[in-house]
Chains A and B, each alone.
Chain A
């Protein structure tokens, strides 16, 4: 039980960090250049 509780808590925080991380520049990209095809 302890294993599953711990892994569910850790997984929950991974989801929250993954969802909010880009807002704080943690990974990925948040701002999209709206014009120009050179953007990647």
Chain B
């Protein structure tokens, strides 16, 4: 096999830049808290780009054109809508999180103190399954992408990606990841801003529209039923992902309270345009009646035909940055959960130096584990996301009502999430995948709502308010 050294060199150069930047940032990281959750002072620029860097994944750039190729214009709009609206929907929750758990660190802090042990353990198990699944989708998706489109052998692609990410994520933890995220988002925006216009300058817009009307007129239909279902059922699992994912909770705690709504709002709106822009490349494929060998390769396939090698490399840089930033953020979010919710409850007297050391070791261990389970190529990214979406949708209402409504009882929340997952997977296998997500969301809503009216609790918010207060005052005293 011919090894494409040019493409590997692009990744290595980027990797060296990320690692060097991380080393520079890590010099200022001295406490375990800074390593796992930052200093709580992220402003609009770094807060927004850190959210964007995590949420713009390999899927955003690759699967959005795939959805547009299959479902037409509504597919592109639906994909952009589902991810954008999920982040915007989190903004009132983020504001509330700052108010009622000001010294919290993870989503586990909320679950442990708002509900009871059975809820907490069940949620943590589901959360680890989801986050490891997400990590695998990024690892496998990244490997497949580099292999199929840029001819880098799969194993080499996965190993190279993980080694670089583990190296820079281990050095400075959260601070490094959010610092480098700014640079990565700029690279991703270059793809979004440069590639589609270059392609359309070459093809013209009117011929593509005429071609679509001629070859696949149904793909111009904005009311295509499959597209509408994808838009709203997809929004449900994306909202579930955001609400449940510790990566978003970490950023809710880390950003400035007064800027939180703007940061999450801007990130959601900014995200909307990324898949929309890359999805427009699929219209060129439809309008010119060209089909790639694999449908998920439609965007780079078109970019290479109309933009040549330069555009192809720009695409590689953007997609690889998106993958690296997402893998790094998930690694850090998992370490934060393990340290804060598990290690500190086993060893509450561990000092700062020890916590910092354990955090770094855990980053390497989880990274290597994720690398190993990503080596076999056994699933596709979108399938895995929808499969996990049933779990995500089940926790949407326990989280929303748990944050805002004192009437939500712990047992009701537990029954709602378990029943939603069971019903969701029955529907997933018997009716359809997206229908499973919708069923899970409905059961979660109905049980939480009716249960709170039938058996109302009277939760004392001060229990959440006191979480982490002693640690915070200790840090202030130091």
Interface of A toward B, CB cutoff 8 Å:
1-2, 4-5, 7-9, 11-12, 14-16, 18-23, 27-32, 34, 37, 39-40
Contact indicator B397/A18 (Cβ below 8 Å): yes
User: B460 to chain A: which residues have CB within 8 Å?
Assistant: 39-40
Interface segment, one of B106-114, B137-145, B155-163, B228-236: B228-236
Contact indicator A29/B406 (Cβ below 8 Å): yes
User: A7 to chain B: which residues have CB within 8 Å?
Assistant: 438, 442
Contact indicator B400/A19 (Cβ below 8 Å): yes
Choose one: A12, A29, A30, A32; the contact of B235 (CB below 8 Å).
Answer: A12
Contact indicator B229/A19 (Cβ below 8 Å): no
Interface segment, one of B28-36, B88-96, B206-214, B244-252: B88-96
Choose one: A4, A14, A18, A37; the contact of B233 (CB below 8 Å).
Answer: A4
In the complex, the number of residue pairs spanning A and B with C-beta atoms less than 8 Å apart equals 88
Contact of B104 with A by CB under 8 A: no
Contact indicator A15/B396 (Cβ below 8 Å): yes
Contact of B474 with A by CB under 8 A: no
Whole-angstrom distance from the CB of A1 to the nearest CB of chain B?
A: 5
Instruction: Give B437's nearest chain A residue, CB to CB.
Output: A8
Not counting A2-B225, A15-B396, A15-B441, a sample of 7 additional A-B residue pairs whose C-beta atoms are within 8 angstroms of each other reads A4-B229, A5-B229, A9-B232, A14-B445, A21-B404, A28-B401, A30-B404
Q: How far is the CA of A28 from the CA of B99 in the complex (A)?
A: 14
Choose one: A1, A34, A37; the contact of B225 (CB below 8 Å).
Answer: A1
Instruction: Give A24's nearest chain B residue, CB to CB.
Output: B92
User: A19 to chain B: which residues have CB within 8 Å?
Assistant: 89-90, 92-93, 400
Whole-angstrom distance from the CB of B249 to the nearest CB of chain A?
A: 15
Contact of B296 with A by CB under 8 A: no
Q: How far is the CA of A31 from the CA of B95 in the complex (A)?
A: 10
Interface of B toward A, CB cutoff 8 Å:
85, 89-90, 92-93, 96, 99-100, 225-226, 228-229, 232-233, 235-236, 239, 396-397, 400-401, 404-406, 431-432, 434-435, 438, 441-442, 445, 458, 460-462, 465
22 pairs from A and B in contact (CB 8 Å cutoff): A8-B229, A9-B228, A11-B232, A11-B236, A11-B441, A12-B236, A15-B89, A15-B239, A15-B400, A16-B89, A18-B397, A18-B400, A19-B400, A20-B92, A22-B92, A28-B405, A28-B406, A29-B405, A29-B406, A30-B99, A39-B461, A40-B460
Whole-angstrom distance from the CB of B7 to the nearest CB of chain A?
A: 40
Q: How far is the CA of A31 from the CA of B90 in the complex (A)?
A: 17
Choose one: A9, A11, A22, A40; the contact of B461 (CB below 8 Å).
Answer: A40
Given A7-B442, A18-B397, A19-B89, A39:B462 Cβ within 8 A? yes
Instruction: Give B432's nearest chain A residue, CB to CB.
Output: A4
Q: How far is the CA of A20 from the CA of B89 in the complex (A)?
A: 8
User: B228 to chain A: which residues have CB within 8 Å?
Assistant: 5, 9
User: A20 to chain B: which residues have CB within 8 Å?
Assistant: 89, 92
Contact indicator B438/A22 (Cβ below 8 Å): no
Given A28-B405, A32-B100, A11:B445 Cβ within 8 A? yes
Q: How far is the CA of A39 from the CA of B406 in the complex (A)?
A: 12
Contact indicator A1/B229 (Cβ below 8 Å): yes
Q: How far is the CA of A16 from the CA of B441 in the complex (A)?
A: 13
Contact indicator B404/A22 (Cβ below 8 Å): yes
Given A11-B236, A12-B236, A32-B465, A22:B441 Cβ within 8 A? no
User: B438 to chain A: which residues have CB within 8 Å?
Assistant: 4, 7-8, 11
Q: How far is the CA of A14 from the CA of B232 in the complex (A)?
A: 12
User: B461 to chain A: which residues have CB within 8 Å?
Assistant: 29, 32, 39-40
Instruction: Give B400's nearest chain A residue, CB to CB.
Output: A18
Choose one: A4, A27, A37; the contact of B435 (CB below 8 Å).
Answer: A4
Contact indicator A28/B404 (Cβ below 8 Å): yes
Whole-angstrom distance from the CB of B304 to the nearest CB of chain A?
A: 36
Q: How far is the CA of A28 from the CA of B239 in the complex (A)?
A: 20
Whole-angstrom distance from the CB of B217 to the nearest CB of chain A?
A: 20
Instruction: Give A34's nearest chain B residue, CB to CB.
Output: B465
User: A28 to chain B: which residues have CB within 8 Å?
Assistant: 401, 404-406
Contact indicator A23/B406 (Cβ below 8 Å): no
Q: How far is the CA of A32 from the CA of B406 in the complex (A)?
A: 12
User: B406 to chain A: which residues have CB within 8 Å?
Assistant: 28-29, 40
Contact indicator A5/B232 (Cβ below 8 Å): yes
Query: 7 closest A-B pairs (Cβ-Cβ)?
Result: A28-B404, A8-B232, A28-B405, A32-B99, A8-B233, A22-B404, A12-B232
